[in-house]
Amino acid sequence: MSRRVVVTGMGCISPVGNTVKDTWDALLAGKSGAGMITVFDASKHKTRIAAEVKGFDAVAAFGVREARKMDRFTQFATVATLEALEQSGLKIDDTNRDRIGIVIGTGIGGIGTIMEQAEVMRERGVDRVSPFLIPMMISDSAAGMLAIRVGARGPNMAIATACASGNNAIGDAMETIRRGSADAMIAGGSEGALVPLAMAGMNVMGALSTRNDDPLKASRPFDKNRDGFLMGEGAGILVIEELEFAKARGANILCELTGYGTTDDAHHISAPAENGAGAAMSMKLALENANLTVNDIGYINAHGTSTPLNDKSETAAIKTVFGEQAYQIPISSTKSMTGHLLGASGAVEAVFSVMAIRDGIIPPTINYETPDPVCDLDYVPNQPRKVSPKHVMSNSFGFGGHNATLVISRFE
């Protein structure tokens, strides 16, 4: 029997709150983090709205010297990790540091640093580029810098599977513990990609909502009038541990990670398979991995991006896996409030899944106004719902056809 893996700490910074508590309270209140873009001049962009992290001061958090060595996505990951470690009570020292690892997912990594330093080179010359450029821009900088900060010398890596990165990071960290290669892992995802180039690229693909006149209602997963997703930023981090390791130190166990499935569509670089076949297989594998049936899942935190193709495809995939039972399962997309945090989305949604189990309440899908005949499941529209799920499924799907599904369960 494989080793059991439990969650003992969580951290989150999001467009609706800079801690787990603040974010969760905002979700249950149906609060949107959307607004006009302030982090750069978006006046020439087709989409001028996004879901920004608010009130974050890197200098106040880290000091001038440290802040200037960290890309925004690394800053977010660090803040969320410190919150998660504090809740977990895990002390990393010479007795355990070789058995504690880190896996951080990111879709894009240090794109803000790349953009900034490209401009420095263009305006001031090649010799004026920051010596921190390379370690700041690479996708593994968050995982590497966190290891230095907390002294964790176990398995350490970055996962880059686009918008599935957060789920893949948590799932791979879980498997690392299961196979005995670590006793505890810091795992999650972080993204800080609200920069002009990324926004322009998403716009020309037709991926983003252009509801600039009403940003609070721009993200509307599963609604018939959805027109694209809303870019977000932030980080979600879990401290996960092997059960006996956690018990031995008297840790407070929040829940158990029981299932993980991951596949690829092998279909299209950015569009999901219309029938959701790859996503369906990811869900099936996660159920099998958790040794559960379709009747055991009490809530699905959907990928639910608010794009016409994704929401239709994901609905089809859920029906493929769950059959008629699909109509009995409450499903919601918290991206209706946070926007799409890209590589961090699965990680913050894992936090929300744990909170749903802990508090016996499911966050809503806000802005659900006009039902879509092809999206005809129970999307928990507009109001939270008191339900006590024993097992929660959380989906993340990304460009490149990547699919990753987690099953998170009440600890018993």
Q: How large is the average pLDDT for residues 155-177?
A: 98
How much is the pLDDT for 311? 96
To 5 degrees, how large is the angle CA 121–CA 127–CA 133? 65
Residue 340 among the catalytic residues: yes
Residue 37: CB atoms within 10 Å: 21
How much is the pLDDT for 331? 98
Residue 267 among the catalytic residues: no
Query: Which stretches does DSSP call E strand in 226-277?
Result: 234-242, 255-264
CB 142 within 8 A of CB 75: no
Q: Which tokens belong to 10?
A: 């969580």
CB 42 within 8 A of CB 195: no
Cα distance between residue 349 and residue 232, in whole Å: 13
pLDDT digits (tens, 9 = 90+) for 293-344: 999 999 999 999 999 999 999 999 999 999 999 999 999 999 999 999 999 9
Domains of the chain plus CATH, in order, are 5-248 (3.40.47.10), 261-409 (3.40.47.10)
Residue 2: pLDDT band with limits 50, 70, 90:
confident
How much is the pLDDT for 267? 87
Residue 303 among the catalytic residues: yes
To 5 degrees, how large is the angle CA 285–CA 289–CA 290? 120
pLDDT digits (tens, 9 = 90+) for 173-182: 999 999 999 9
Catalytic residue among 12, 45, 163, 255: 163
Whether 8 shows a pLDDT value over 60: the answer reads yes
Residue 275: CB atoms within 10 Å: 15
Residue 123: CB atoms within 10 Å: 8
Catalytic residue among 12, 45, 255, 340: 340
Catalytic residue among 12, 45, 255, 303: 303
CB 97 within 8 A of CB 160: no
CB 208 within 8 A of CB 353: no
Element (H, E) at 330: none
